[in-house]
Amino acid sequence: MIYEFCAENVTLLEKAMQAGARRIELCDNLAVGGTTPSYGVTKAAVELAANYDTTIMTMIRPRGGDFVYNDLEIAIMLEDICLTAQAGSQGVVFGALTADKKLDKPNLEKLIAASKGMEIVFHMAFDELSDEDQP
């Protein structure tokens, strides 16, 4: 079993890893459900996690609120995926839906392609899907 810790910043990362967390979901602004952390925070988390054989999964989300993104927000997410990879994160956490709460397949395909082999987790947007749309 993998113990995962959701971290809003690097403040408690070392304690979480000392307590056995081997996967960190790194984000910012948990008050709105989490947004993309800065490059600097991601890089520091990756460097710290290397001492504990812990995987960093970085949230890719440009804002709080719903998971329906416009073209500019998708472009931001694509850039954030590239920066997250450059910072050394092993994976990304994202989701994208249409206005009628279906998978936004065209944009998800873009985000997956940009992830270039990184581990991918579809986040809490999954909970917005109808039961019949959940695989």
List per-residue pLDDT tens for the chain, 135 residues long.
888 999 998 999 999 999 999 999 999 999 999 999 999 999 999 999 999 999 999 999 999 999 999 999 999 999 999 999 999 999 999 999 999 999 999 999 999 999 998 999 998 888 877 777 776
- Distances 83 to 5, 31, 46, 106, 119 between C-alpha atoms, Å: 22, 23, 13, 22, 15
- What pLDDT was estimated at residue 110? 98
- Name beta bridge partners: 58: 26, 92
- What pLDDT was estimated at residue 81? 99
Q: How many domains does the chain have?
A: 1
Range of the domain at 17: 4-133
User: Quick one: which of 44, 40, 34 has its CA closest to 7?
Assistant: 34
Helix (H) or strand (E) holding 56: strand 55-59
Give pTM, 2 decimals. Answer: 0.93
> What is the domain-level CATH number for residue 61?
3.20.20.380
Tokens read off for 102: 């279906």
Four-point Cα dihedral 59, 125, 2, 37, nearest 10? 10
